[in-house]
């Protein structure tokens, strides 16, 4: 299973490039530059052609069809939706699953905050190297890196050991962003059940936060049909490279049913982020179009049923 999931990992590099090129997210530039250094030194084994060529193609096409750059805008919106929800939770510890090269730990982690970021072995080793290069001696003792497979409960349980040793009394916020749609229906159920069991065993008051629950009708924008055609090409290229089809929910009702069957309850949170998204200015996409797509970066805050 882990070997199969590793095919998804190069998409994390593409997302890191998008963050650097099209947003002002904290540490996006530094992470991308550290990745480039590791590539130059032969320390990165992932194929660069896939992510590099895809990024070049999108940049080139955006000169003719700027709306194709909706993807970086959605990525930034999802990031801030998660962070805004964390602010509302106030007291929390974080376990981020399939964290890739997210900038969140660099932005939010402090000496007083417990933060585990996790991914498969190759990615998380690179991430730790990058974070240590950026933060140097300033890295928090409560910032941890773990090789975890969320589809394997025994693997996931390793995070509980650190959480319990930390003696923090803050409930866990378990985060995943940009991973769930790569799983098939059976894997999604395993993922859900593992999260529910983990919360039940170690943090019953904790939450699962994810912007990945997207109704299928929203997987395409209402922009120019050519934009959808280009995005379909990008999607098919990604699916061919990862060996995985994107799996979406039919509608909001199916999302709630999925959660209920796992002993969970979820609430959709949506935020007006248009004024905050630096990617809108950088991509020059009409802000009114983004307002029509706010559901694409809406976030489900999920808890155990009482």
Q: What is the CATH number of the domain that holds 232?
A: 3.40.50.150
Segment 41-64, tens digit of pLDDT: 766 655 555 556 666 777 777 777
The model's pTM is 0.91
Query: In the block, which residue shows the tokens 């660099």?
Result: 106
Question: Mean pLDDT throughout 241-259?
Answer: 89
What value does the mean pLDDT of the chain take?
86
Segment 13-24, tens digit of pLDDT: 888 888 999 999
| Total domains in the fold of the chain | 1
**HEC assignment per residue over 84-147:** HHHHHHCCCEEEEECCCCCCHHHHHCCCCCCEEEEECHHHHHHHHHHHHHHHHHHCCCCEEEEE
- Residue 155 CA to residue 261 CA, distance in Å, equals 23
- Residue 44 CA to residue 38 CA, distance in Å, equals 6
Domain that holds residue 111: 2-304
> Would you state the pLDDT for residue 229?
66
Lowest model confidence (mean pLDDT) among 4-18, 161-175, 240-254, 259-273: 4-18
HSE-CB at 289 with a 13 A cutoff on CA atoms is 17
Q: What's the pLDDT band for 12 if we cut at 50, 70, 90?
A: confident
């Amino acid at each position: 299973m882990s070997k199969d999931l590793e095919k998804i990992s190069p998409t994390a590099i593409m997302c890191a490039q998008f963050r650097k090129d099209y947003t002002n997210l904290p540490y996006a530039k530094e992470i991308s530059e550290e990745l480039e250094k590791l590539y130059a030194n032969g320390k990165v084994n992932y194929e660069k052609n896939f992510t590099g060529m895809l990024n070049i193609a999108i940049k080139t096409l955006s000169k003719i069809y700027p709306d194709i750059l909706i993807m970086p805008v959605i990525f930034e919106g999802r990031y801030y939706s998660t962070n805004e929800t964390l602010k509302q939770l106030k007291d929390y510890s974080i376990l981020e699953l399939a964290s890739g090269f997210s900038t969140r730990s660099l932005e939010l982690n402090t000496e007083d905050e417990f933060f585990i970021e996790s991914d498969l072995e190759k990615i998380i080793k690179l991430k730790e190297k990058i974070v240590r290069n950026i933060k140097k001696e300033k890295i928090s003792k409560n910032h941890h890196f773990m090789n975890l497979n969320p589809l394997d409960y025994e693997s996931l349980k390793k995070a509980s050991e650190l959480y319990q040793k930390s003696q923090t009394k803050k409930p866990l916020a378990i985060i995943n962003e940009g991973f769930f749609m790569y799983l098939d229906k059976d894997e999604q159920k395993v993922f859900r059940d593992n999260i529910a069991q983990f919360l039940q065993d170690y943090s019953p008051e904790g939450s699962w936060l994810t912007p990945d629950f997207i109704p299928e009708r929203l997987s395409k924008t209402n922009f120019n049909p050519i934009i959808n055609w280009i995005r379909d090409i990008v999607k098919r290229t990604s699916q061919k490279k990862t060996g995985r089809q994107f799996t979406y929910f039919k509608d909001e009702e199916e999302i709630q049913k999925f959660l209920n069957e796992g002993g969970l309850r979820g609430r959709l949170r949506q935020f007006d982020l248009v004024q905050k998204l630096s990617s809108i200015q950088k991509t020059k996409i009409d802000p009114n179009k983004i307002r029509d797509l706010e559901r694409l970066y809406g976030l489900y805050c999920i808890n155990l049923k009482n």
